[in-house]
Amino acid sequence: DGGITQSPKYLFRKEGQNVTLSCEQNLNHDAMYWYRQDPGQGLRLIYYSQIVNDFQKGDIAEGYSVSREKKESFPLTVTSAQKNPTAFYLCASSRDRGNYNEQFFGPGTRLTVL
Amino acid sequence: GESVGLHLPTLSVQEGDNSIINCAYSNSASDYFIWYKQESGKGPQFIIDIRSNMDKRQGQRVTVLLNKTVKHLSLQIAATQPGDSAVYFCAENTGGFKTIFGAGTRLFVKA
């Protein structure tokens, strides 16, 4: 059963703590993405990775970090430097680096910072 | 922008009627467009896509229309069902990895 998994579904953290969100895909996709979703706004790109050991900043990368050590995995760390981390975080993947490939999304992680 | 949000445009339709959801895109250079469906608390699901060399594409119960002259995209859902209730948003891609997601429209289906 192929797809993208994100864990956990809900995450609570105290202000000032770093937290890592997991994203795993078994679709054999080269490209992976992290988005942030806030009420009333579109998805905003945080980071993306075209291939293992390579990643690029998106539109709102400040306060976040990623790694891509394996093709299947693209974890996102929300650091204490992120000013407003409470949001719904979505991971996605697409088949390759070419155009015209739709992105497949995971179920999301809702992060609440107390 | 989009999201399963509080202040999205809303469309309310009767079960069995057809739904039309509209989207104005921003970049005349965009050449690939996608419609996604997002149910509450879940990730977006791909519905249908269209390239800029087409003006219409049909799927199962869904049709996407593209008007490049006025930069307008629409999603038509035939015989709308309660399970179609969700937020729908369009996305545009100009090539490469940058995809711009629209704000979304919330569809309510009345039984």
Looking only at the bridges linking them, the beta strands covering A19-25 and A76-78 are: antiparallel
Chain B residues in contact with A4 (beta carbon < 8 A): 43
Contact call for B101 and A48, based on CB within 8 A: no
**Count of CB atoms situated within 10 Å of the CB of B78:** 14
- For residue B91, the model assigns a pLDDT of 93
Residue B44 distance to chain A (closest CA, Å):
6
Percent of chain B with pLDDT over 70: 94
Q: Which residues is B38 bridged to in the sheet? A: B87
Cβ-nearest to B46 among A35, A37, A102: A102
- For residue B1, the model assigns a pLDDT of 34
Percent of chain A with pLDDT over 70: 96
Residue range A9-20: average pLDDT?
A: 93
Residue A62 distance to chain B (closest CA, Å):
18
A25-80 confidence digits (pLDDT tens): 999 999 999 999 998 788 999 999 999 999 999 999 999 999 999 999 999 999 99
- Report how far apart, in Å, the C-alpha atoms of B79 and of each of B20, B23, B63, B84 are: 11, 20, 12, 10
- Residue A95 pLDDT level (bands cut at 50, 70, 90): confident
For residues A91 and B18, what is the distance between their CA atoms, to the nearest angstrom? Answer: 32
- For residue A2, the model assigns a pLDDT of 65
Query: Which of A51, A102, A109, A111 should be substituted to probe chain B, the one whose Cβ sees the most B Cβ atoms within 10 Å?
Result: A102
- Residue B28 pLDDT level (bands cut at 50, 70, 90): confident
Chain A residues in contact with B103 (beta carbon < 8 A): 40-42
Residue range B101-110: average pLDDT?
A: 92
Contact call for B31 and A42, based on CB within 8 A: no
Residue range B91-109: average pLDDT?
A: 87
Two tokens at B54? 């087409």
Contact call for A99 and B31, based on CB within 8 A: yes
- Report how far apart, in Å, the C-alpha atoms of B36 and of each of A2, A53, B52, B82, B89 are: 19, 29, 17, 17, 5
Residue A106 distance to chain B (closest CA, Å):
6
Q: What is the dihedral of CA B88, B94, B100, B101, to 10 degrees?
A: 0
Provide the CA A70 distance to its chain's centre, in angstroms.
Answer: 15
What DSSP letter does each residue of B39-59 carry, written as one string? -TTS--EEEEEEETT-SEEE-
Greater confidence (A98 vs A89) lies with A89
